[in-house]
Structure 1
Amino acid sequence: MTPLDSSSHESHDFEHPPFDGARLQHSVLLLDYLVDHGPTTRSELSAATGLGRSAIAAVTARLLEVGVLAEEADASSDGRATPLALAAANHVLVTTAITADDAIATVASLDGAELARFGEPHSVADRGGLLELLSVVLRRALSYADRGGFPVADVTLLVDGSVAGTPEVVVGSGRFGPEPIDVAAELRARVPALGDTVTVVPAAIAAATAEGDALGVRDLLYLDGDTAIGSAIIVDGRPLRGGHGLAASLAHLPIVPSGRRCECGQRGCLATVADPSQVIERAGLARLEADRGRTAALEELLVRLEASEDRATWSWLDAALWIGRTLQAVAPALDPAVVVVGGYWGRLVGDIEKSFRENRPTIGGGVLASVPLLAAATLGSDAALVGARRQARGRLVAEPMLLVG
């Protein structure tokens, strides 16, 4: 089967999904368990999910009927002891992104375990060059899945910036530029095997989702500054996209009075003072970045900060000042339980917190001055990949017909 060729789904009745309401919730619980644990009997599913046997019987009967589940061929004839398995257990998730130094594509099983990773270093700043690199690694990932006999259930494109409109376009991207660009269409033109089933997700939202799960927090503000300034808002466990898809665009919050003009057209955007390219240049590390890449430049920045080197210290503390002031403007409006700081910013979260706390309210005995909590991210550079896979899995178990075929 051609990966993600939408024509391959035409024989399935997507207009009449197997469940809605409570039965859909039961189906999600059941499928989630099967993704993590493999073939399981109905009795075991009942014990594991807390669903009654009648509910299990109704849900599994329908999922068997439409081909989402299959019974183990060598199982006992007693229906209750017959292990049930996902018919699509061998399906995989493909996720692609532009990191600080590479275009990457990964292949993972439905439970999120990574099976393969393909990367190409980038040193280009133009849209076309980056899109070509993404298409190269995507073709490798799809070829890997095809050779291994793994049908592709989902392709997710992780991007910096916001995703908005219909069809969805990427806006305000540090990599693709401020103007709207239909990245999915551009990649489909280069990789026809992608078909129409491609999901474009802001990398910051994917990372925020994963970090929130790791912390057990459902209301948070996430920000980082490695590839570009990324930010996301999670409310009750769900990303806040806003009425136009532009919520949490902190990079283009005009925070610096009479600041210089940003490439987006505004003056004083946070990106003009805290974008990693700006911090690296002011610290005198632009040549190092050109020779060895952004990751090496940021690591050297951290080394120089540890050594209290003047130029690096000035560059970073100026950025930290404006990051803190941005949080002063945003935190009262959102009231997040936690502000999670990722990337190299997370290793310097104390400087950001110092700037943030210096102008906090003193009412209530200073209680408000201590909220929200600022915490360094814990999942490292793969946080967005982890989050994207979890989101893809969530979409698939919520629409199980996508797993048929």
Structure 2
Amino acid sequence: MSTPPHKARPPAGPGRALPDTQQGMRRRNLSRVMHTVSAEGPLSRAAVASRIGLTRAAVSTLVDELIRSGLLEELGPERPGRVGRPGFALAVSGRGPAGIGAEVGVDHLAVCAVDLRGRVRSRAVRHVPNRGRSPEPVLGELTGLVERVVAEAEGEGLWPAGLAVAVPGLVARDARTVVRAPNLGWHDADLGGLLPAGLPLTVANEANFGALAELWLGEDTPRDFLHVSAEVGIGAAVVVDGRLLHGNRGFAGELGHVPVRPEGPQCACGGRGCLEQYAGEDAVLRAAGLEPGEDRVGLLAGRAEQGDAEVRDALHEAGTALGIALTGAVNLLDPESVVLGGALSGLAPWLLPSLRSELARRTAGPPCPVSVSPLGPEGPLLGAAHSVVRGVLDDPAAVAERA
């Protein structure tokens, strides 16, 4: 599977500020060169210099350093017909550092390697029920998948620049501790000691990584949007001016535990009538009178396409519940749009009518547009891997030092 090249957007994560020193300026300029070539390449040195406002001599020095580090490569002379001496076209390297993304789902594990050009070079998935299992065996299996993907990537001339793990739960600001994942049954689990040593590690909520994937890889994605992602649980991420809104403790976006019917059924979080009890995959299956299987979304979509009235009613009610929960977020945050991602995207034809109806009926201003992510359930995994790649683009000097 391939993904689009990185857009020329500023970092969305908590970037590390570089000092205003000569060395800090050099590192910033290396990053500017990498981002420009990544977003617009192949480009000549002269074209890069023109875009970032530096002299060609200065850019040539930076480019030479990036080529020596294996982060850029020269593809050959520019196309004929240009006036003057032809330059060599530069592109980000198809070898060298790669981002390793991983996802822990309620019923699956997944890992992929993405190179600097945004291409998925290796991928592994295992369908396994993780609900109620302790972190140790789950992460032991995930480590096996990571090692397999890394070995395959290394066979193609890549090396892992870092590991980012998407989880369906609340993650502390240390970016390694899962404070609470109700649908897994995890509490205060430090993933740092249970995953492969030697790789820079970032752990984040799966909806946050899904939103970053939408921001970086989606077509015409706005700078302000609310991203909704779901499988058994439902999460959301808020992007404001191209950056994630994390909240005081890093827990922003727990849409699945917004009560839509306060006297409704008990939720795994301890509350009652939460959105997950009406719009999560398990809840929709229950309402439709179906038993959960390996491919829940495929089962629901297939029955809905066949005209199954019970399934369509269940999806209509799920869309209504989503619309009620989203109304509060839209009224409070005034996003430019709502993006439906994750597993929910596969059920959009039957969810959207009632969801949009509730939003239109309940929001204070004009109706907020609702779109469907083309990345679907791949969003969190791709967002995790691309977050590592973005780290390389943001500070290539640090990556070259680790190589």
Question: Would you call these one fold, judging by a TM-score over 0.5?
Answer: yes
Equivalent of 1:384 in 377, 380, 387: 380
1:121 is the counterpart of 2:127: yes
Cα distance change of structure 1 residues 17 and 349 upon mapping to structure 2, 3 Å threshold: farther
Tell me by how many angstroms 1:15 deviates: 9.6
Equivalent position amino acid for 1:279 in 2: V
Cα distance change of structure 1 residues 80 and 19 upon mapping to structure 2, 3 Å threshold: farther
Find the residue that maps to 2:112 and give its secondary structure.
Answer: strand
Cα distance change of structure 1 residues 137 and 16 upon mapping to structure 2, 3 Å threshold: farther
The whole-number CA distance in structure 1 between the counterparts of 2:389 and 2:318 is 37
The residue that corresponds to 1:57 in the other structure is: 57
Q: Please show how residues 287-306 of structure 1 align to structure 2 within 5 Å.
A: 289-290=292-293, 293=294, 295=295, 297-306=296-305
Cα distance change of structure 1 residues 100 and 177 upon mapping to structure 2, 3 Å threshold: closer
The residue that corresponds to 2:184 in the other structure is: 176
The residue that corresponds to 1:145 in the other structure is: 153
The whole-number CA distance in structure 2 between the counterparts of 1:40 and 1:322 is 49
The residue that corresponds to 1:7 in the other structure is: none
Tell me by how many angstroms 1:53 deviates: 4.5
- Kept in 1, the 8 Å contact 2:113–2:123? The answer is yes
Larger Cα-atom Rg:
1
The whole-number CA distance in structure 2 between the counterparts of 1:92 and 1:161 is 26
The whole-number CA distance in structure 2 between the counterparts of 1:360 and 1:39 is 45
Tell me by how many angstroms 1:73 deviates: 10
The residue that corresponds to 1:371 in the other structure is: 367
Cα distance change of structure 1 residues 70 and 276 upon mapping to structure 2, 3 Å threshold: closer
* Structure 1: gaps of 5 or more residues: 1-13, 362-367
The whole-number CA distance in structure 2 between the counterparts of 1:217 and 1:139 is 36
Q: Which moved more, 1:248-257 or 1:302-311?
A: 302-311
Q: Please show how residues 3-402 of structure 1 align to structure 2 within 5 Å.
A: 19-20=23-24, 26-35=29-38, 41-47=44-50, 50-54=51-55, 56-58=56-58, 60-61=60-61, 64=64, 68=69, 81=87, 89-99=95-105, 101-125=107-131, 126-128=133-135, 129-166=137-174, 168-173=176-181, 175-177=183-185, 179-187=187-195, 191=196, 194-212=197-215, 213-286=218-291, 289-290=292-293, 293=294, 295=295, 297-342=296-341, 343-347=345-349, 348-361=351-364, 368=365, 370-402=366-398
- Kept in 2, the 8 Å contact 1:171–1:181? The answer is yes
Q: Which moved more, 1:27-36 or 1:60-69?
A: 60-69
The whole-number CA distance in structure 1 between the counterparts of 2:354 and 2:22 is 52
The whole-number CA distance in structure 2 between the counterparts of 1:73 and 1:332 is 50
- Kept in 1, the 8 Å contact 2:330–2:363? The answer is no
Find the residue that maps to 1:264 and give its secondary structure.
Answer: coil
Cα distance change of structure 1 residues 53 and 372 upon mapping to structure 2, 3 Å threshold: same
Percent of residue pairs bearing the same amino acid type: 24
Post-superposition CA distance 1:199-253 (Å, at most 9, x none): 1132212222232442330000011322521211100011111110011111122
* Structure 2: gaps of 5 or more residues: 1-17, 78-84
The whole-number CA distance in structure 1 between the counterparts of 2:62 and 2:268 is 54
Tell me by how many angstroms 1:198 deviates: 1.1
Tell me by how many angstroms 1:328 deviates: 1.5
More strand by share: 2
Aligned residues: 368
- Kept in 2, the 8 Å contact 1:68–1:88? The answer is no
- Kept in 2, the 8 Å contact 1:64–1:70? The answer is no
Cα distance change of structure 1 residues 81 and 181 upon mapping to structure 2, 3 Å threshold: same
- Kept in 1, the 8 Å contact 2:175–2:204? The answer is no
Tell me by how many angstroms 1:169 deviates: 1.7
- Kept in 2, the 8 Å contact 1:280–1:298? The answer is no
Find the residue that maps to 1:378 and give its secondary structure.
Answer: coil
The residue that corresponds to 1:364 in the other structure is: none
Find the residue that maps to 2:35 and give its secondary structure.
Answer: helix
TM-score, length basis structure 2: 0.79
Cα distance change of structure 1 residues 201 and 19 upon mapping to structure 2, 3 Å threshold: farther
Equivalent position amino acid for 2:138 in 1: L
Q: CA RMSD in A?
A: 3.4
Tell me by how many angstroms 1:311 deviates: 3.2
Post-superposition CA distance 1:303-336 (Å, at most 9, x none): 3334553432343333222211111111111100
TM-score, length basis structure 1: 0.78
Post-superposition CA distance 1:334-354 (Å, at most 9, x none): 100001112334332222112
Post-superposition CA distance 1:330-381 (Å, at most 9, x none): 11111000011123343322221122223334xxxxxx2x331111222233
